[in-house]
């Protein structure tokens, strides 16, 4: 808006408009970059929950199996013929796994064995899972053969960090 006082015209000059536009541009770039950084990490809680669900599924499946190949169904009496030097899968297919150390593996793609109403959606296909089982009763003050340490390592897709879950299964 221009006003006239004593022969002069007062208003916004071209330089003032340019400076205003530069300041507004800098402010918009700053706000946009802030939102961009925030939006890029907004799905992290989703990936973390999916990782936990996958870990819970595998841990439940593993812990529901027998302690050792020589352990009777039901687990009683405790097996005395556990050989810690020969841990590893005795079966080729996961559907046939019947004891804890059958799950020793490195870098599998998650799958859920058809167990009725449980179905895994395809969003888990880019996860990687590594499972290690070792006789570690000494960690708990027992003889080495009386507890197996199960370590489940899940690598989610993208740049998310690797998650490691550990539990023990006792021979009783």
- pLDDT on residue 117: 46
| Alpha helices for the chain (secondary structure H) | 14-40, 44-63
- pLDDT on residue 101: 83
- pLDDT on residue 75: 65
Q: Which residues of 36-57 are buried (b: 16+ CB within 10 A; e: fewer)?
A: eeeeeeeeeeebeebbeebbee
Tell me the pLDDT tens digit for each residue of 75-117: 677 767 667 767 766 777 777 788 888 888 866 666 654 444 4
- pLDDT on residue 112: 52
Cα 90 from Cα 99, distance rounded (Å):
9
Is the overall model pTM greater than 0.85, yes or no? no
Choose among 69, 94, 103, 102: nearest CA to 171. 69
- pLDDT on residue 94: 75
62 and 103 Cβ atoms separated by less than 8 Å = yes
Task: Report residue 103: phi and psi, to 5°.
Answer: -85, 0
- pLDDT on residue 113: 47
Stretches in the chain below the pLDDT threshold 50: 113-117
- pLDDT on residue 111: 60
């Amino acid at each position: 808006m221009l006003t006239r006082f004593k022969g002069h015209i007062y208003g916004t000059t071209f330089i003032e408009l340019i400076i205003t536009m530069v300041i507004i541009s800098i402010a918009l770039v700053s706000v946009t970059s802030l939102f961009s950084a925030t939006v890029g990490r907004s799905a992290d809680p989703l990936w973390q929950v999916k990782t936990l669900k996958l870990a819970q599924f595998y841990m439940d499946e593993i812990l529901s199996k027998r302690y050792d190949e020589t352990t009777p169904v039901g687990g009683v009496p405790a097996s005395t013929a556990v050989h810690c030097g020969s841990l590893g899968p005795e079966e080729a297919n996961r559907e046939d796994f019947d004891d804890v150390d059958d799950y020793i593996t490195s870098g599998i793609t998650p799958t859920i064995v058809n167990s009725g109403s449980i179905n895994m959606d395809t969003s888990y296909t880019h996860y990687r899972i590594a499972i290690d089982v070792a006789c570690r009763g000494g960690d708990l003050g027992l003889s080495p053969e009386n507890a197996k340490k199960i370590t489940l390592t899940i690598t989610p897709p993208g740049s998310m960090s690797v998650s490691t879950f550990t539990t023990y299964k006792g021979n009783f």
